[in-house]
Amino acid sequence: MRKYLLLWVAVWALAIGGSSAFGFSIDSMGVLPNYPGGTDTGGVMNCYASYARGLSPDGQYAVGYSQGDIYWNGVPYETNVPIPVYWSKATGLVRQHEDWRHGGWTGVGQSGKIAGTISDRARYDTIGVDVENDLPPIPIGGNTQCAVAFSNAVSGNDHWMVGYGVRNYANKAIRWDSSVYPIPLNAYVTRQGVGASGFGGVANSGACVGTDRHGTGGGDGAIYWDGASAGVTNIPALAGNVATQGQGIGISDNGTYTTGYLSKDAGGYNGFRWSPSDASSMALVPFGSDTLSWGGDAADNGMVAGWTYNPTNSYRVCVWDSDGTPQLLYDFLVSLGVDMSGWQRLTKAYSITPDGKYISGYGLTTAGREEGFVAFIPEPATMLLLALGGLALRRRR
């Protein structure tokens, strides 16, 4: 029995609908509707895409951005810019930012605390509150502040936010402590990494994964910081390789698993999964004839959600189970009988919840529009039971 039969998935979003005989469905997050704004108020027009970048630990909220034009007093203010949004099954796609701001939210915690980069500044907020507090820029060399800061992720318990600051064209990894709210100027806690650096993910313990300039040939290399030590750990090469170029992108909420991508000695990249006790990184092998892979985020059980690359079909969402077996999410939905006629493909996945039940990312619709999605995966025991039932049905035919 093929392992992908153990993966039963329903995908949720907002506009394009379909269902299987088992009740599984797929919809799209859609895009923000046209609203030109009024006197001294902002609006949005001509939105043509949406992207889900972060998920709350329970999978009920997704955050990201929609792409379109910002209007002010009924006339164009900025065109073709990202517009920060959140999404839930109950609310649909909702804009959350000051009327004239552009950018996107990249992380959301268990109580709805969100962080992202709005108009080139790291900001945090709470879903539905819309205050937009600034995350303080980190001092670099004495009391000199970074020119700007960018936020990439929020820990599931809302305690930590991570990203990087920029000054004189050099990035520096930052972790903010949000236990004091709003976050004071001196609460950045630390900066880490060799040369230009940045954090891409953070666990509930404060452990971080990211990138600095230690990679092969002075390029980017994936790093891990336990949240307390004076320095970072360089994430090792893929098993059987020595090249270390790559990036750390995601970390499980329990801090056990990190993921991202690393170079191969023979050329190209593979996604990786690595734990602090591992001597080398496990390669996330591309599915089938796909040639490259990237890990986007890791669940507490070792599952990884990310994407692979196929020269014919471009990028495709892939899920690796705890032992590293890959499965294309789109293909599996088709195998369940889910109506995928509204989609050309599911493209990239950036987040997975701690229990591995929810995945967020974006895909390409048959209308040629990129739209976000949130995917749901039931309990493992249920998956096994349904898979065995499906296998028995196939054998009877």
Q: What is the CATH number of the domain that holds 148?
A: 2.120.10.30
The pLDDT assigned to 280 comes to: 96
* Mean pLDDT, all residues of the chain: 80
Q: What is the pLDDT of residue 221?
A: 92
Q: Per-residue pLDDT for 352 more than 70?
A: yes
Q: 88 pLDDT band (50/70/90 cuts)?
A: very high
Q: Determine the longest span between alpha carbons in the chain, in angstroms.
A: 74
Tokens representing 22?
């088992």
Q: Give the whole-number percent of the chain exceeding pLDDT 70.
A: 77
- What's the whole-model pTM score? 0.86
Burial of 186 (C-beta count, 10 Å sphere; 0-12/13-18/19+): exposed
Domain of residue 260 covers: 135-284
Instruction: Read off the pLDDT of residues 133-177 as tens digits, 9 standing for 90 and up.
Output: 767 665 544 444 555 567 788 899 998 988 887 766 567 788 888
Residue 118 or residue 236, greater confidence: 236
Q: How many domains does the chain have?
A: 1
Residue 181 has pLDDT above 70, yes or no: no
Would you say residue 151 lies in a domain? yes
For residue range 112-138, what is the model confidence (pLDDT) as tens digits?
A: 989 888 887 888 888 988 666 767 665
Q: Who's near 320: CB < 8 A, 6+ residues apart?
A: 271, 273, 284, 295, 303, 304, 306, 326, 327
Greatest mean pLDDT range, 58-72, 93-107, 269-283: 269-283
- The model's pLDDT over 327-348, given as tens digits with 9 standing for 90+, comes to 998 887 778 777 788 889 999 9
Dihedral sign for Cα 323, 325, 326, 329, please. negative
pLDDT, greater one: 116 or 377: 116
Whether pLDDT at 383 is above 70: no
- Residue 319 scores a pLDDT above 70: yes
Residue 12 structure tokens: 């949720």
In a domain, 220, yes or no: yes
Residue 206 belongs to a domain: yes
Residue 99 within any structural domain of the chain: no
Residue 269 within any structural domain of the chain = yes
Q: Are 162 and 173 in contact (CB under 8 A)?
A: yes
Any domain includes 170: yes
Is residue 315, in this structure, part of any structural domain at all? no
Q: Is 113 a member of any domain? A: no
